[in-house]
Chains A and B, each alone.
Chain A
Amino acid sequence: MRDYNKLIFELSKPGRKGYRLPPLDVEDKDISEYIPEEFINENELDLPEVTEVEVIRHYTNLSNKNYGLDTGFYPLGSCTMKYNPKINEDTSRLDGFANLHPLQREDCIQGSLQLMYELQESLCEIAGMDQMTLQPAAGAHGELTAIMVIKAYHEKNGDTQRDKIIVPDSAHGTNPATAVMAGYKIIEVKSTENGLVDVEALKAVVGDDTAGLMLTNPNTLGLFEKDIKEIAKIVHDAGGQLYYDGANANAILGHARPGDMGFDAVHFNIHKTFSTPHGGGGPGSGPVGVKEHLAEFLPVPVVAKDNQRYYLNYDYPNSIGKVKDFYGHFGILVRAYTYILTMGKDGLKKASEMAVLNANYLLSQLKDDYNLPIDGLYKHEFVLGGLKGDLLEATTLDVAKRLLDFGFHPPTVYFPLIIREALMIEPTETETKETLDAFAEALKTIAKESKEDIEMLKTAPHNTVVRRPDETKAARNPVLRYEG
């Protein structure tokens, strides 16, 4: 099955069908009676002709070429690949949730509104924020929404000269891309040798043109920004706002809250912290919480409650407007709320604790063979700087590719940019000690091979269905669709 190499188009045979509709039960007039011929496509559609069995076999075979969380360990730094509970899949498919039109009357949608309201309240509590919008479609979309809210705040205050957003050099690429999309210029602030925001450098760049600072805490290296209160004060004193990128929130649930650290706005990556599946790249969900002074700018509608009635509140005259069709990725929100109910206040706190334990334990097993540019207590993830040894030919890319042969998904590589040969490892709380030990063992074996059998690494992977596809060729001569 591993060798299956057909595209669905290559299975097509004229006359085959994979569907059946009921016969038309209204009068069957020619379409030209309804729609003028100038609008009608007279040609056949360019779609394949296949049977249901072929479709099932085809995609089942493709699925066998994929590695999922249910296949094995997925220690992608900054991605929080924790187990995706199966009950979440069931609840999101409940008839009342899955088959509900978003524009139905308010009395027909009370169950969904109640769920969204309770989720908003839960996320506000977890974040230490006052109001929440569930609309953003993904983390990057949440970032954009939050930064637009901050911009609306400054505009209302007449502070339109604030045209710069400060971003640490360790930040995820979405941060600067988001700020530009919201119409801002970027100022990058360097990290200290210890991997934290350089407070002195920050002081030097803030001013009356500062709109805000975008920060994760723990940061991208997995380190807690201990000076967060001072950082917040510096930004606030300059008149800026503080935005919390929730990418690393899995480290602090029930232990610390962005709101208490001084952040004014926050987004959560529901698909990271709250266990919803990544789906091969999406759909995600990126709710945004804000403190009271920013609440009036949230996108509409916000789910609200009046006695026992839940409703969609559009009465936000200073809202930034709409950022998304309807009310967000509801199906993903159902999964997230299911997870929050399952874990409860005690389980969420325990989850963060175990995520941090797993990260620090794994690190303790790898220190001897891999560079650790910054030593210390990590939170949910840590960053290694490639294999030890000065003149090694083996790169982080080789290590990652060789890990595939051991049946593991490699960590995030070459990010953050400030660490050379970075391997960013986030084990999450849902992995057993045995899994972590096996993974550490694989990395140690690879370290050994790097000294004894470099070819083994350079030509890795050896057991996968394809091996090091040529990305240069793909980008130089793009083939982006099947041409027959």
Chain B
Amino acid sequence: MYPYIPHTPEDEREMLDAIGLKSSSELFSDIPEDVALNRDLNLKPSMSELEVKSYLNNLAAKNCSTSKMTCFLGAGAYDHYIPSIIDHIISRSEFYTSYTPYQPEISQGTLQYLFEYQTLICNLTGMDVANASLYDGGTAIAEAALMAASVARKDEIIISKTVNPQARRILKTYAHNQGFTIKEVEMKDGITDLEELESMVSDDTGAVIVQSPNFFGIIEDLEATSQITHKAKKAAVIASVDPISLGILKKPADLGVDIVVGEGQGMGIPLSFGGPYLGFIAVKKNYMRKLPGRIVGQTEDVDGKRSFVLTLTAREQHIRREKATSNICSNQGLNTLAATVYMVTLGKEGLREVALQSTKKAHYAFEKLIESGKYKPVFDKPFFKEFAIKSDIDADKIIADLRKEDIIGGYHLGIDYPQLNNSILYAVTEKRTKEEIDKLSSVLEGI
């Protein structure tokens, strides 16, 4: 007997009789002999819960978690504080064991939190419409770019080199397969070179993609980017933003941005070795009917009660098939719930305070680290919660030495930008204390 397979031998017998079969092996008589697997799978035999837990406990213990070490690593995934309430809500099995809300009568819970999530994302970004989420920040950029270019009926997409290198690689993969051309704008002192952008934007341009705060933590001039981009007919500005930064920074919609995307992991989702996270996308109204992914709308039921349904579904693959906006067939369901609970629990004041504390602690760390002159700033531009510093010491040695002191060091920028060899990107969230930052500084001084 297996814990998740309920039949007794008597059940099996009765059921086979009802079908008219002698043995359960006959259930597979339609699989031709030359296709059937006539041996056991080469896997371990089944195990008890106790054995499985102990095996996986051992594996987990081989990792160095952020609860045992102090994390100054960011580069797209951040160690923000996660309020206890979140895991309790997403652990309600009515939420996590439910399917996509195709039957609205018994899915109002899911549908309503998605509607709330869409509203919160719109309120935060200032945009008109948000969908019910995409896989992650990187694929959200790619989906946004493909949507924008196809709406504009152009085949050229421009992306700044200050956008997360990972996302740029994903975009290249997606774009290559659909025959779009990707052009990259150079950077100048850590931000997008707007003069170069201006020279590149033309009537062939379908979209211009920037990130702010960018990969180096620096705040980009979205307003100027929008003005340059909109000189080209129908070209869209796509901004990838850190939602936490919107606690203090201007709303992208107020800066002329057409499509806002981003990674929502910082909003109550654990680091979990890179996923699952949460991609969000919000657009101006004219893109509403071309948005990829699910959208929830408000309506009324036969008794006139406010209710919620999946809507504008004719955009999607299960109806439009090969003419769908995207092939996406899921959203990040449970992670959108985590982010929703995060946004409402922190609320008006809380999100601002997380953003403010992260900024102030990051700037304290920056000043502390460059104090002695051993480490120097890489860029001289206003930043949010991440900054880059450089020295003559090998970056890998620095990160290895920090690890010995139970500190998870920053990200070596030389991996993606050869010209930034031995520059390290540090992230400081509201979770870091002065004591931890001072320790980072003193360990770095001693290397």
Contacts and interface: CB of A to CB of B under 8 A. Distances in A.
Given A48-B347, A180-B322, A278-B98, A482 B119 contact: yes
A399 to B, nearest CB: 13
A481 B129 CA distance: 7
A282 B332 contact: yes
B94 A70 contact: yes
Given A41-B246, A173-B317, A283-B276, A469 B300 contact: yes
Interface string B83-119: 1010111011111111111011111111011011011
Contact of A68 (B57, B94, B272, B323): B94
Contacts of B447: none
Given A63-B95, A474-B311, A482-B116, A324 B138 contact: yes
Given A100-B272, A228-B35, A56 B85 contact: yes
B206 interface: no
A63 B433 CA distance: 37
Contacts of B332: 279, 281-283
A100 B65 contact: yes
A58 to B, nearest CB: 8
Contacts of A76: 99
Contacts of A48: 344, 347-348
B60 A94 contact: yes
B166 interface: yes
B343 interface: yes
Contacts of A111: 58-63
A112 interface: yes
Given A97-B60, A177-B322, A326-B274, A343 B46 contact: yes
Contact of A469 (B34, B173, B307): B307
A454 interface: no
Given A66-B107, A474-B309, A360 B27 contact: yes
A228 B37 CA distance: 14
Nearest to A275: B4
Contacts of A46: 123-124, 348
B63 A325 contact: no
Interface stretch (B73-81, B194-202, B231-239, B371-379): B73-81
Contact count band on A: 35 or more
30 contacts: A16-B347, A19-B345, A25-B433, A40-B248, A41-B251, A64-B94, A69-B97, A71-B94, A95-B65, A97-B272, A103-B73, A104-B64, A138-B135, A138-B328, A176-B322, A183-B178, A279-B334, A280-B101, A280-B110, A282-B334, A327-B274, A330-B273, A330-B275, A342-B46, A349-B40, A349-B41, A430-B6, A433-B6, A468-B302, A478-B297
Interface in A5-64: 5, 7-9, 12, 16-19, 21-22, 24-29, 31, 34-36, 39-41, 44-50, 52, 55-56, 59-60, 62-64
Given A25-B433, A280-B99, A341 B52 contact: yes
Nearest to A27: B364
Contact of B31 (A105, A256, A328, A480): A256
Interface in A108-158: 108-112, 114-115, 122, 125-126, 128, 137-141, 143-144, 148, 151
B124 A47 contact: yes
A166 interface: no
Interface string A315-354: 0000011111111111110100110111111111111011
Given A40-B248, A254-B37, A280 B275 contact: no
A182 B179 CA distance: 9
Contacts of B103: 67, 400, 404, 409-410
Contacts of B384: 35
B405 to A, nearest CB: 13
A365 B19 CA distance: 9
A62 B274 contact: no
Contacts of B314: 475
Interface stretch (A384-392, A443-451, A459-467): A459-467
Residue among A48, A103, A354 with max Cβ neighbours from chain B (10 Å): A103
Contact of B112 (A7, A100, A481): A7
Contact count band on B: 35 or more
Contact of B93 (A69, A283, A469): A69
A190 to B, nearest CB: 15
B344 A101 contact: no
Interface in A157-206: 172-174, 176-183, 186
Nearest to B133: A282
A103 B272 contact: no
Contact of B434 (A26, A109, A110, A474): A26
A210 interface: no
A94 B61 CA distance: 9
Contact of A99 (B91, B271, B399): B271
A455 interface: no
A-B pairs, top 4 by smallest CB distance, nearest first, are A326-B274, A96-B60, A344-B46, A102-B274
B380 interface: no
Contacts of B110: 66, 280-281
B444 interface: no
B370 interface: no
A361 B273 contact: no
A330 to B, nearest CB: 4
B15 interface: yes
A183 B92 CA distance: 41
A59 B177 contact: no
A112 B347 contact: no
B227 interface: no
Contacts of B299: 469-471, 473-474, 479
